[in-house]
Amino acid sequence: MKILTVLIEYHISNMDNLYFYICNDDISISIGCRVYVPFGHQNIVGYVIDLRHSDLSYENLCQKDNVNYKYIYKVLDENPILDNELFNLAKYMSKEYVAPLISCLQTILPPTYKPAKTSLKEIKYKQLKKVYINENINYDNLKPKQIELLDKIKNNNGILLKDLPIGQVNTLIKYNLVNIKLVKVTDDYFKDYQKKDNFHNLNDEQKKAYQTIIDSNKQVFLLQGVTGSGKTEVYLNLCEYYHSLGKGVIVLVPEISLTPMIIQRFKQRFTDIAILHGSLSSKEKQIQYDKIKNGQAKIVIGARSAIFAPLKNIGLIILDEEQSTSYKQDQSPTYHARDIAIYRANFFNAKVVLGSATPSFETKARAMKGVYQIVYIRHRANNQELPPVYIANMRNEVSEFSYMISKTLDQEINNALDNNEKIILLQNRRGYAPYVSCRNCGYTFKCPNCELSLSYHKNGDKFKCHYCNYEIKFNHICPKCDSQDFLFMGTGTQKIEEIIQQNYPKAKLLRMDNDTTNIKNGHLKILEKFEKEDFNILLGTQMVSKGLDFHDVTLVGVINADISLSAADFRSAELSFDLLSQVSGRAGRGDKPGKVVIQTYNPEHYAISLVAKHDYELFYNQEMRFRHKLNYPPFSYMSSLTILCEKADQACILGDKIFDFLNKYQEFELLGPAFPYVFKENNKIKLRILIKSKNHSLINEALNKINVTFAKEIKERKCSILYDIDTYKLL
């Protein structure tokens, strides 16, 4: 008889639940395989983490251990689904991020391999069903939600059944509006960005960077190169080098759908590539995953979670735009891809290259201390200067037709349009107006889940919560006083679109934000149009600041630079500097020189004046003085724990106890605006405690202790706790 220790996902819990099962000796099974087991009234999938043998009969064994052992139904894997390196990584993460091992395993594995609460049938499916729209259908008498769904299916040329709300689809089938067909799963899911990049020989500066990284005996490098300096070209050459040694390479990009241009450049050079893409179906992800696992793909490109790619012999890990906050996961386990990269590189003795024009302060500080090696590229590859930046002070130069457009920006837009040049405009807020209130009684529309202001969206005439995606139609009547007179405050991309279209007859504008890109390959379609068709203005949120390499963009305009600057976060200056530098870097990448206009009510703020001078180093030094004074990261470490509970009193009692527990640590500073800080979301109270300390491992130790000491109490009070290690969120 074999006795198996099985990890099972059951309850949202901060601790692992271990269960014991048995199977006969003739069944071949090893640690790290998944098993299909009976569990209460369900049948679920578990993960074997230990295995021992017993010669006793079933009855004697049960009697001796005083357990009524159940037999497993089935072993799902011939071999362990994770090798030792990744399994040990999961164990490390479990400790480091104070998360159950099961959730670390789930984070590392692709969806179809997850030892999750799914039934066997879902895991074993081979064929996928896709929903297609019927021809010549009649839209009369349909609800807006149904029309929206039909449009979505139509625009995507069919959508996988499993990605759709099944109830609604059934209704559509009943009305004979859609049909379902089986689809063959192919590997060819990723629509290529149709632009061929020329093959470049590295220039001297690039060559030097490349050679330094290869020759140095350091492990981690900060590749700090200005926008357009050809960092991607250096990545490609490094890739080629390690690839030729037979080693694996992981390339991380911030948000993969935003970076089709980079992917295309890799695809042109390498054939054994796997791409792990957030919008792939589970099956598609598995195909990519298997390609990596069986050695067919040696180069992996993907977003954050691609850091867990099951490559066997890693030689190089690259993080492009390493400062991007998308590398930090804010759900448990709250890992940062940079830390996982360094951990894995250590195991393989591989190199890590952190690339950026505006590195995160954490990385820059470590590099200045010599923990990482800095490699600079100070010039653009095309030898153009960085574009001149003009700061428009909105206090005294708004144009006649709109308080959102300065006289200078107006003039530059007209010039660019007259010369058939292209323009990128950044307004980092989507929707039409972020706040709406009643002019009569002052009522403001708020999300019932989050209590945050609802944004008004003109398309569809509705309110959306940008935090939890709650949506409701606007009926133009105040729920409090029945007035029909409203005030639309603040400005989102939709309002800017309207202003541009009303005032520039030559403008052909594309808007890129979450609302226009939520279809498959949505970003790609917009970028291709901007490149090939006669669109001349690309307007969008921070999406337009990333990775775009259009040679005929000569003007970049920032409509309101104060949006990110005014965020209540000690990182707001750093994040603003980064965003403004990134978007400025989109101008003048071809032969024609570029120009940037930044509009602001804070022209004297150093984050803005130093972006205009392209002086990252001075900005870094100045901002570091501020961080030092207040002992903020990178001079200290900051982690948080958040108690979630439906009952406020239970959360508060537990919160007080944990607060007292943490307060005993001399080296900790517990801080914030008012702590414990209470906040409501989705009917749950969130109570948050922030811990600041110079001692990282002591924070970790304390949090792990809390998890054990308070385990029973957390459960009894029906609370759960999220530990956010090295948190990015001040609030």
Q: Nearest distance from residue 527's CB to ligand ADP, in Å?
A: 14
Asked if 232 interacts with ligand ADP (CB under 6 A), we say yes
| Pairing relationship of beta strands 2-8 and 42-53 according to DSSP bridges | antiparallel
Selected range binding ligand ADP among 195-203, 277-285, 411-419, 673-681, rule: CB under 6 A = 195-203
CB closer to ligand ADP, 284 vs 549: 549
Q: Nearest distance from residue 434's CB to Zn ion, in Å?
A: 13
Q: Nearest distance from residue 563's CB to ligand ADP, in Å?
A: 24
Asked if 227 interacts with ligand ADP (CB under 6 A), we say yes
Among 114, 231, 336, 511, binds ligand ADP (CB under 6 A): 231
Among 168, 203, 326, 373, binds ligand ADP (CB under 6 A): 203
Tell me how far apart the alpha carbons of residues 380 and 589 are, in angstroms, rounded to a whole number.
8
CB closer to ligand ADP, 538 vs 658: 538
The three state secondary structure string of 496-541 is HHHHHHHHCCCCCEEEECCCCCCCCCHHHHHHHHHHHCCCCEEEEC
**Which of the choices Zn ion, ligand ADP, none does residue 443 contact, using the CB cut-off of 5 to 8 A by kind?**
Zn ion
Selected range binding Zn ion among 132-140, 307-315, 469-477, 658-666, rule: CB under 5 A = 469-477
Tell me how far apart the alpha carbons of residues 546 and 567 are, in angstroms, rounded to a whole number.
20
Asked if 487 interacts with Zn ion (CB under 5 A), we say no
**Which of the choices Zn ion, ligand ADP, none does residue 237 contact, using the CB cut-off of 5 to 8 A by kind?**
none
Contact status, residue 363 vs residue 328, Cβ threshold 8 Å: no
Selected range binding ligand ADP among 5-13, 229-237, 285-293, 513-521, rule: CB under 6 A = 229-237
Asked if 483 interacts with Zn ion (CB under 5 A), we say yes
Among 32, 100, 110, 228, binds ligand ADP (CB under 6 A): 228
Tell me how far apart the alpha carbons of residues 268 and 451 are, in angstroms, rounded to a whole number.
48
CB closer to ligand ADP, 32 vs 547: 547
**Which of the choices Zn ion, ligand ADP, none does residue 233 contact, using the CB cut-off of 5 to 8 A by kind?**
ligand ADP
Tell me how far apart the alpha carbons of residues 575 and 585 are, in angstroms, rounded to a whole number.
15
**In the structure encoding, which two tokens stand for residue 601, read together?**
């009510």
CB closer to ligand ADP, 511 vs 546: 546
Q: Nearest distance from residue 509's CB to ligand ADP, in Å?
A: 24
CB closer to Zn ion, 443 vs 635: 443
CB closer to ligand ADP, 172 vs 353: 353
Tell me how far apart the alpha carbons of residues 100 and 92 are, in angstroms, rounded to a whole number.
11
Contact status, residue 688 vs residue 641, Cβ threshold 8 Å: yes
Contact status, residue 721 vs residue 643, Cβ threshold 8 Å: yes
Site map for ligand ADP, 535-574, x if CB under 6 A? --------------x-------------------------
**Alpha-helix residue ranges (DSSP H) falling in 533-664:** 562-565, 572-584, 606-612, 616-629, 648-663
**In the structure encoding, which two tokens stand for residue 196, read together?**
């061929």
What is the number of alpha carbons within 13 Å of residue 466 lying toward its C-beta?
17
Tell me how far apart the alpha carbons of residues 247 and 493 are, in angstroms, rounded to a whole number.
45
What sign does the CA torsion over 154, 159, 162, 163 have? Answer: negative
Among 56, 147, 182, 481, binds Zn ion (CB under 5 A): 481
Nearest to 553 by CA among 530, 587, 528: 587
Residues found in the chain: 731
Selected range binding Zn ion among 134-142, 292-300, 461-469, 711-719, rule: CB under 5 A = 461-469
**Degrees to nearest 5, angle at CA 725 with 720 and 729:** 90
User: How many residues of this chain interact with ligand ADP, rule: CB under 6 A?
Assistant: 17
Asked if 11 interacts with ligand ADP (CB under 6 A), we say no
**Cis peptide leading into residue 673 (ω within 30°):** no
**Residue 562 in 3-state DSSP?**
helix
CB closer to Zn ion, 211 vs 483: 483
Report the amino acid identity of residue 158. Answer: G
Among 230, 333, 434, 594, binds ligand ADP (CB under 6 A): 230
Asked if 202 interacts with ligand ADP (CB under 6 A), we say yes
At which residue do the structure tokens 């007035």 appear?
483
Selected range binding ligand ADP among 75-83, 196-204, 465-473, 637-645, rule: CB under 6 A = 196-204
Strand ranges in 70-184 using DSSP code E only, listed in sequence order: 70-71, 74-75, 128-133, 159-160, 178-183
Contacts of 606 (CB under 8 A, 6+ apart): 573, 619, 622, 623
Tell me how far apart the alpha carbons of residues 379 and 556 are, in angstroms, rounded to a whole number.
20
Among 83, 85, 197, 713, binds ligand ADP (CB under 6 A): 197
**Which of the choices Zn ion, ligand ADP, none does residue 465 contact, using the CB cut-off of 5 to 8 A by kind?**
Zn ion
**Which of the choices Zn ion, ligand ADP, none does residue 376 contact, using the CB cut-off of 5 to 8 A by kind?**
none
Strand ranges in 60-200 using DSSP code E only, listed in sequence order: 70-71, 74-75, 128-133, 159-160, 178-183
**In the structure encoding, which two tokens stand for residue 559, read together?**
């409509």
User: How many residues of this chain interact with Zn ion, rule: CB under 5 A?
Assistant: 15
Among 69, 376, 435, 443, binds Zn ion (CB under 5 A): 443
Task: Please give the full DSSP string across 166-196, using - where no structure is assigned.
Answer: HHHHHHHHHTT-EEEEEE---S---PPP--P
Q: Nearest distance from residue 111's CB to ligand ADP, in Å?
A: 31
Contact status, residue 450 vs residue 465, Cβ threshold 8 Å: yes
**Residue 48 in 3-state DSSP?**
strand
Q: Which of residues 379-418 bind ligand ADP (CB under 6 A)?
A: 381-382
Selected range binding ligand ADP among 231-239, 268-276, 305-313, 396-404, rule: CB under 6 A = 231-239
Q: Which of residues 327-386 bind ligand ADP (CB under 6 A)?
A: 381-382
**Which of the choices ligand ADP, Zn ion, none does residue 337 contact, using the CB cut-off of 5 to 8 A by kind?**
none
**Which of the choices Zn ion, ligand ADP, none does residue 326 contact, using the CB cut-off of 5 to 8 A by kind?**
none
Phi-psi region of 714 (alpha: psi -120 to 50; beta: other; left: phi over 0): alpha
Asked if 254 interacts with ligand ADP (CB under 6 A), we say no
Q: Which residues bind ligand ADP (CB under 6 A)?
A: 197, 200, 202-203, 206, 225, 227-233, 381-382, 549, 589
Q: Which residues bind Zn ion (CB under 5 A)?
A: 438, 440-441, 443, 447, 449-450, 465, 467-468, 470, 478, 480-481, 483
